[in-house]
Chains A and B, each alone.
Chain A
Amino acid sequence: MGKTIIEKIIQDHTQDEVSPGRIVWMDLDVRTARDFGGPNVVKNFEREYGEIPVENPRKTFFTFDLCVPACSLKYAENQQVCRLFARKKGIRIFDVDSGIGSHVLIEEGLARARRTVVGTDSHMNILGAVSCFGQGMGDVDITFAFKTGKTWFEVPETVKVVIEGIPSSSTGAKDLALFILKNLGTKKAALKAVEFTGDVFRRFALSDRITLCSMVTEMAGIIGFIPEFDASVEKQIEGFMGVPYEPYAADGDAVYADTIRINAAGLVPQVSVPFLPHKVEDVACLTEIPIDTGFIGSCTNGRTEDIARAARVLKGRKVKDGVSLKIVPATRRVYRELLENGILENLFMSGAIISNPGCGGCAEGHIGLTGSGETQVSTGNRNFEGKQGKGRTYLAGPEVVAASCILGRMGTPEDL
């Protein structure tokens, strides 16, 4: 019987027989812990295994991204706990200057096609964007992965999601991701791997793939893959990561739990309404809503291309008086690219606040929260009550966030 993409990657990392529902032992190419969860991993490891070395320090990493540099004593202490452990065990740290861990792993070519990666980050499945099996886990599982380089995993079923039609040119990957989320909700892909197909994906750039794959978590899926790409995209990914791009395609006779067709022809910009990511509407229905704050960044929309989209809207314009726009590059590499191509200057001139890279703006990190009654429009992936403070957060793509901050109300670049 043929195999789906996830089944092939798992089969490459186990001697057990792979089919949906079976539990297998899987070799891990990379295992990481971040500044949240990391200290628990250290505590568990020291209690259970003491002076024993980690299985392969060169495949083991800490990535600090949630609260960078530490803005509370608790985080400062926790990060230091990880640093001391890392020194002792010879583990490399991507420290507080680096940016979002999952993105750093892609940039460094550590998370690459056909590999397996786990970490204490529920959005680790974002690595599906480069055909890598990434998975977030709890601190007990990650402790064990540090010790043995392995984990057990129940092979998930796969659903195929076919996107038909071409969205309107005023939309980007985030609009499509939100629209797919609206259609799948949190049940249709729950606990399953997803393969996204359709012509729209052929030219999806790496940053677009990251955007869509990051939101598979909100769909309650295990991981998403996009096996459609043309040669230019393949080249782009190879150039970016500096390693050959060798993704799998599913076998022709692979078995899917379900095939779901979604018609996205003529799709217009989308917005997710508080407090559920899958509560999605057309922006056009929400233009009355006044905006206090905007945020552009996160693992979903923190790449150079995402921020450049916003910069094109902001160029020569100003963020409205009384509104603040926070921009957080995903990584240090993104920050440098923005600096080199002049985008940073445009953003600065438009009145935006630009911070160092990391999860700030999404997690309760270093770039502020919302207060009661505050309305935020964000490029993040979650708008649960209380996640970014006491205010209400709408989720949208970078152009909508930029336009809304100029208008002082929800809107698109066409409204300017």
Chain B
Amino acid sequence: MAEKTIRGKIWMLTGTDGNLIEDIDTDQIYHNAFLHITDISQMGAYALGNLEGWKDFSRKASAGDFVVAGRNFGAGSSRQQAVDCFLALGISLILAPSFGAIYFRNAVNSGFPVIKCPALKDFVASQQLKTGDILYINLKTGEARNEIRDTLFSVEPMSRVQEEIYDAGGLFLYGKSGNRGK
């Protein structure tokens, strides 16, 4: 059984206006010039390598950190590398109001927690979330706590399906577990 509550330091993917950047596409997350790389451990260096203001992300981030982004994160192509590059860095969760459909599928299938939080924009506007804050998120109940500001808020809990795949460690392992959904 994988961890239900995870803790991490957040990186708010904000633009020059201080707002979360919306519609970050897979080409900004992982540029197509590096698609030939097949070894996941080498992909981390290119995470967000094509996103203005965030090109040095791989050098700043540490294992266990969370990424917080604007709506429609991971729009665009179906490339799995755009998920794998975060796995390679040890990023442990991505929080956004919504995700690109294929990106979301790919992340869930990899057992990587992608969590939706429709009200994220409001928290940012009211300064309840800042880069460097430490969050606790209960993936199952959706309860979230900001340790630094001592505030509580809620995110969408993982769906049962997402949780089962996450617990198994990915879709293929889930398929081997004999558990094939209900």
> Who on chain A is nearest to B159 by CB?
A23
The answer to whether A48 and B182 touch across the interface, beta carbons within 8 angstroms, is no
Bin the interface of chain B by size.
Answer: 20 to 34
- Count of chain A residues with Cβ under 8 Å from any Cβ of B? 23
Does chain B have a CB within 8 A of A238? Answer: no
CB distance from A142 to the nearest CB of B (A): 11
What is the interface of chain B, defined by CB distance below 8 A to chain A? 78, 80, 101-102, 104-106, 108-109, 159-162, 165, 171-172, 174-176, 180-182
| Distance of A49 Cα from B105 Cα, bound (Å) | 21
Q: What are 7 A-B contacts defined by CB distance under 8 Å?
A: A22-B159, A138-B78, A138-B105, A147-B175, A148-B181, A150-B180, A152-B162
CB distance from A125 to the nearest CB of B (A): 13
Interface of A is mostly: mixed
Does chain B have a CB within 8 A of A257? Answer: no
CB distance from B150 to the nearest CB of A (A): 31
| Distance of A14 Cα from B160 Cα, bound (Å) | 13
Interface of B is mostly: helix
Q: Contacts A25-B181, A48-B172; is A16 near B109 (CB within 8 Å)? A: no
CB distance from A111 to the nearest CB of B (A): 22
- A residues less than 8 Å from B104 (CB atoms): 154
> Who on chain B is nearest to A191 by CB?
B101
The answer to whether A141 and B159 touch across the interface, beta carbons within 8 angstroms, is no
Q: Contacts A15-B182, A25-B181, A140-B109; is A154 near B101 (CB within 8 Å)? A: yes
The answer to whether A23 and B180 touch across the interface, beta carbons within 8 angstroms, is no
CB distance from B79 to the nearest CB of A (A): 10
Additional A-B contact list (11), CB under 8 Å, known A48-B172, A154-B104: A16-B160, A23-B160, A48-B175, A48-B176, A138-B105, A140-B106, A141-B105, A144-B109, A144-B174, A152-B165, A154-B101
Taken residue by residue from 135 to 146, chain A's Cβ proximity to chain B (1 for < 8 Å, 0 otherwise) reads as 001101101100
| Distance of A25 Cα from B164 Cα, bound (Å) | 11
- A residues less than 8 Å from B174 (CB atoms): 144
The answer to whether A152 and B161 touch across the interface, beta carbons within 8 angstroms, is yes
